[in-house]
Structure 1
Amino acid sequence: MKKVLYITGVLMAFTLMSFAAAEFFSSMTKVDYVEGSKTLKFTTKMNAQHVSSAINIDANTAGFEAEVKKYVNNRFSVSANGTPLKLTFTGSQVNGESVWVYFEAGGVSSLSSLKINNSILLETFPKQVNIVNIAYKGNQKTMTFQRGKESNEVSF
């Protein structure tokens, strides 16, 4: 019941914010476990203008992808079952107002816990909210991150 109330509250907050004149700062990350390759695949969607402001480079310039890679590597880390994972950047793309960033971590045979540190855009935008959705063997978990709560952990 608490979970339903929490989700309802979050949805209501997003709805109310959509009518506000203030800009909304968020990123969304989807984590998928690929059992065949024992890999966690990460897809992060961010606002292109916000990322450009944070790294001081225009999204349409040649060096943007390299700067986004450095930025994400410095602000997003993962531990599985208490062991830090090495994230491998696999690419990015700018699509209109969004930047999509792709990275992965291999060698994950099973998950009992997943800890994520996510401070993407938090230093640049104090009201930034980062959401991470995790899919693991039919289980879905959601984490939220904001300034002062840059770390979160879930168990499976």
Structure 2
Amino acid sequence: MKKFLQFTGFLTLILMMSFAEADFYSSMTKVDYVEGSKTLKFTTKMNKEHISDAIKINANTAGFEAEVKKYVNNNFDVYVDGSPKALTFTGSQINGESVWVYFEANGISDINTLKIKNTIMLSTFPKQFNLVNIAFKGNQKTMNFQRGKEVNEVSF
């Protein structure tokens, strides 16, 4: 219940800040474990203008999607039980002001610890806040990332 209240409070804060004049820099990643294929599936949502500033390429150019994928690959690392996992990109899309990037890590039969290094846009925006929500075999975990706290680890 405490985590639910913390998460609800965080969402309320985001909504309140969305009405403020200052920009709010954030990304959100959802991680789902698919037991049948032994795969961790990642869905990352970012602001189109912010990621465009970070990779220094206009979102309307032909190479934008490839640069976003390369950027996420260089700024998002996953370790399962201490072992680094290769990320395979499965797609991306622009939807209004958001950019969605889809990737996965295969060959994961179980997880005792999940460590993530998430530096998405942290070097571009000092107040960048990255949120990662993980669903693994009925367990829900949340990780927060910002400058000075680029790595986080949870246990299952």
Place the TM-score, normalised by the shorter chain, in its bin: over 0.9
TM-score by length of 1: 0.94
Letter in 1 for 2:57: I
Matches within 5 A, 1:97-136: 97-136=97-136
The number of residues matched between the two structures is 156
1:96–1:5 distance in 2 versus 1, CA, 3 Å:
closer
TM-score by length of 2: 0.94
Paired with 1:51 and 1:5, the residues of 2 have a C-alpha distance of 30
Uncovered stretches (5+) of structure 1, i.e. residues with no partner: none
Give 1:47's aligned residue. Answer: 47
Matches within 5 A, 1:66-145: 66-145=66-145
Structure 1 runs of 4+ with >4 Å offset? none
Deviates more, 1:67-76 or 1:4-13: 4-13
Deviations 1:34-78 (A, max 9, x none): 000000000000000001111111112110111111101110000
Identity, % of aligned positions:
73
Deviations 1:66-124 (A, max 9, x none): 11111011100000111110001111111110000010000000011100000001111
Give 1:6's aligned residue. Answer: 6
Aligned CA RMSD, in angstroms, stands at 1.4
Q: Secondary structure at the match of 2:121?
A: coil
Give 1:32's aligned residue. Answer: 32
Uncovered stretches (5+) of structure 2, i.e. residues with no partner: none
Paired with 2:96 and 2:7, the residues of 1 have a C-alpha distance of 29
Q: Secondary structure at the match of 2:14?
A: helix
Paired with 1:117 and 1:45, the residues of 2 have a C-alpha distance of 16
Deviates more, 1:22-31 or 1:7-16: 7-16
